[in-house]
Structure 1
Amino acid sequence: MRRVEQVMGFPVSLRIDDERIPEGVADAVFDWLREVDTRFSPFKRDSEVSRLDRGELGPGELSDDLTEVLGLCEEYRTATGGAFDARLPGRGLDPCAVVKGWSVQRAAELLAAAGVRRFCLNAGGDVVAAGGPWRVGIRHPEHADRLCAVLAVTDAAVATSGRYERGDHIVDGRTGRPATGLLSLTVVAPTLTEADATATAAFALGEEGVAWAAARLGCEVFAVDAGRRVVRTEGVPLAS
């Protein structure tokens, strides 16, 4: 089964290779992602995130999900010394860098709980793969029609942060300026929650982010720095 929908501003594709697919499981995945967009988007005035940012919700009035997301944002802010920050000066609360990976990982867990064993869930280029191996390409940061590498991924997640799609949109919270030390950084981790947040946080750190991400438990890193040098950890699962 293959299905693609536009959710949260990017294409989300689901491929299931099992012989028997539980009824309604794909609907549940996309319904959840649409719910997340409604509840957590900082661009929707009535979302829980927007209401919190305007001071309409107190700490005791937050959903368990938003409390978890904000806790993850604080974890990465602390771990990077403020380079990663969901509350940048002059901007509203924006937890999207955590919400994307967290929500897609939850969707993958919905699939697994329903008994789906072999699937690939791709959200705007960030991937959760079960079963496998699945071949996942790392896009060249300067040439959209080329790949830097191809990974062989089994029961893991892959996320990439870069400047090639949205320009200098990742800001170093320590300086308030765009992070420009890297062209792209890919993280392979056990969950997309970890892979996506780590990739964004490491990119915000700049060149020092490669070593920082590599030191995190279970994370492998493939990066291209501003000098166009490739840096990768030994455990990156390159396809043969």
Structure 2
Amino acid sequence: MKRLITKSLLASIASAICVLAGNASAATVNEYFVDHGDIGIAYEDNELELHYHFEDGFNGVGPEVEFEPNEVYIRVSDAAKLTTTNDLGFLGTTAGDEIWILPQGNTGSSGAGSLGVPFVGLATEELDSTDFISVDLSMTNFNGPGEFALWQFGTFGPNVFFQSVDGISSADNLNLGIGIHDHANFGFTEEGIYEIELTATGNLTGGGTVVDVGTFTFAVGNVAAVPEPGSVAALVSLSLVGACVRRRRKS
């Protein structure tokens, strides 16, 4: 009888730990504030998966790691703030306005590395060309205090992929090749919290598509993110609980 009670007690404790771990994990949000990280797209068990991929560690510290979109928010500090010298129609700004930009480059005086801000990439390196022809990454919902745009500098001016200033439409789309890693400018017009819903649509070589949706959060300026950030250590400790905690994706 004592042995049965012990087993029952252990089972109850294990179950409680799993519940607590699940709740704590869901509430843990980590601030990505510096160094290189990617918004990545993977394919596992016949499902497309949007995620964060930090090849050089989270904020440049620790081992390679991946997170779900809701486990991280991106800090766009005032180090990314600048005063425009030209009108930027895709952001709805005029010369002299202040905006925040996470730059597409990492070097030079205006690069992310010099500014000490996140260097955010877009990656399909985890996808195989035997499975996919391409991936369409679209902005399908947006919430923020100002406007947002994603663009690259081109030979004849900016190539704009996403812009909230004219509403959300099918034009807010970026077609990505397979096995690529690229960078773009992430621009914001006001301080505050921005929630950007991205939909990844994988175009399969055998025909048809697979889809995943994720919301990526940016904290622009000195605003506090909600919920309060946790720590990577907390997530690591939760992973020790065992089978009740979700396995991280393989990089």
TM range (shorter): under 0.3
TM-score (norm 1): 0.26
Structure ranking higher in helix proportion: 1
Structure ranking higher in strand proportion: 2
TM-score (norm 2): 0.25
